[in-house]
Structure 1
């Protein structure tokens, strides 16, 4: 029996307990996740500009540190992060987030 087989055998009872707990408390878990998602969305909406500025600042720092070697990848990643921020911030408000700059 290999290491992974031993590990799986030892974790099986815990997996069953977690699955049972999740099924037993499914409604409460769902409500708490919804509440947390709402808080994250509200925070992102309230601080969208500041978060975007920090993303730009971090991207600039990384770009400077790598001496421009990964500029296009950094720009792409920053753009995707800002798009995601916009989707999170405007989730459920019926508004289309502004395009990432």
Structure 2
């Protein structure tokens, strides 16, 4: 089995389950996990680039809007 076969299998699995995947991404559990991960990344980025805190918060909020249910 080559890489192309694996990619095609992945595409097939995604297509067969895309409704379930969309529900999982928009779930409360996904919201909780994403908030924790995004907060950690944002805090780390602010330590490295404290002058960019506002931009980091904007990016964090934009990404957060794409995951979870809030």
Q: Same fold (TM over 0.5)?
A: yes
More helix per residue: 2
Q: Give the distance between the partners of 2:14 and 2:31, measured in 1 at CA.
A: 23
Unaligned runs of 5+ in 2: 1-11
Determine the structure 1 residue equivalent to 2:32.
49
Q: How many residues align?
A: 59
Say which one has the larger Rg: 1
Match of 1:83 among 51, 65, 68: 65
**1:60 equivalent in structure 2:** 43
- C-alpha displacement of 1:42: 1.2
Tell me the equivalent position of 1:22: none
* TM-score (ref. length: structure 1): 0.47
Structure 1 consecutive aligned stretches of length 4 or more whose deviation exceeds 4 Å:
none
Match of 1:33 among 7, 11, 15: 15
Go from structure 1 to structure 2 and tell me whether the alpha carbon gap of 1:83 and 1:32 turns closer, same or farther (over 3 Å shift). Answer: closer
TM-score (structure 2 length as normaliser): 0.63
